[in-house]
Structure 1
Amino acid sequence: MDIQAEKLDLIKWLADINEPSVIKRFIALKKREQTDWWDQISLEEKTEIEEGLAQADRGEVIPHEEVMAKYQKWRSK
C-alpha cells in the first residue's frame, strides 16, 4: 500500500473514533509534532551541540575507525 492510501485509511479510521480520550491523545501528538526539538533542550545542551559543530568545522574530529579501535574492548561481542 502506498503512503497516500495509508493516510486515507488512517483518516477513515480516525473519523470513526468516538472516544474523546483517544481524540485528545491525537491532538496532543499533533501539538508535540509541531514543536521543534531545538526549542525543547536546555541552553547548556545547545551550547554543547554548537561547540561540537564548531569543532567539526575546524577539522577537530577523530575518524570513526579510530574511535572504534580505541574502545573495542567495550563493544558488545
Structure 2
Amino acid sequence: MNIELEKIKLAQQIFTIESEELLVKIKEFISNEQVDIWDELPVEMKASIDRGIQQAENGQMLSHAEAVKKLKRWH
C-alpha cells in the first residue's frame, strides 16, 4: 500500500462530501485517533524528562552560553 496515494484518494473523497454531519463525524474520528507522544515514550525517558523539568523549576540549569563553554572543554 502506498500511503501517500491513499491519503490523496481519501482527500479526494472528502472533497466530494456535501453532508456537514458526515464531515463533523470524520473530523471527530480523526481527532480521537491523534496519539499523545508522551504516551508512546518509554518509562525511563518520561522519568528523565520529569527530572529535567524538576531541575529547571529548582533553578538547576545552565544558560546556553554556559553549556557551550562546558562542551568546548570536552573537545
TM-score band, normalised by shorter chain: 0.5 to 0.7
Is 1:14 the counterpart of 2:11? The answer is yes
Inter-partner Cα distance in structure 2 for 1:73 and 1:47:
29
Inter-partner Cα distance in structure 1 for 2:60 and 2:73:
24
- The superposition leaves residues 5-35 of structure 1 with CA deviations (integer Å, 9 ceiling, x where unpaired) of xxxxxx8x8216xxxxxxxxxxxxx68x700
Inter-partner Cα distance in structure 1 for 2:54 and 2:65:
21
Greater RCO (Cα-Cα under 8 Å, separation 6 or more)? 2
The equivalent residue for 2:50 is 50
- The superposition leaves residues 20-74 of structure 1 with CA deviations (integer Å, 9 ceiling, x where unpaired) of xxxxxxxxxx68x700000000111111100100000000001110111222377
Q: How much identity, in percent, do the aligned residues show?
A: 34
The equivalent residue for 1:41 is 41
Amino acid at match of 1:41: L
TM-score, structure 1 length as denominator?
0.51
Q: Which runs of no fewer than 5 residues in structure 2 stay unpaired?
A: 1-7, 14-29
Inter-partner Cα distance in structure 2 for 1:48 and 1:70:
21
Q: Which runs of no fewer than 5 residues in structure 1 stay unpaired?
A: 1-10, 17-29
Runs (4+) of structure 1 exceeding 2 A deviation are 72-75
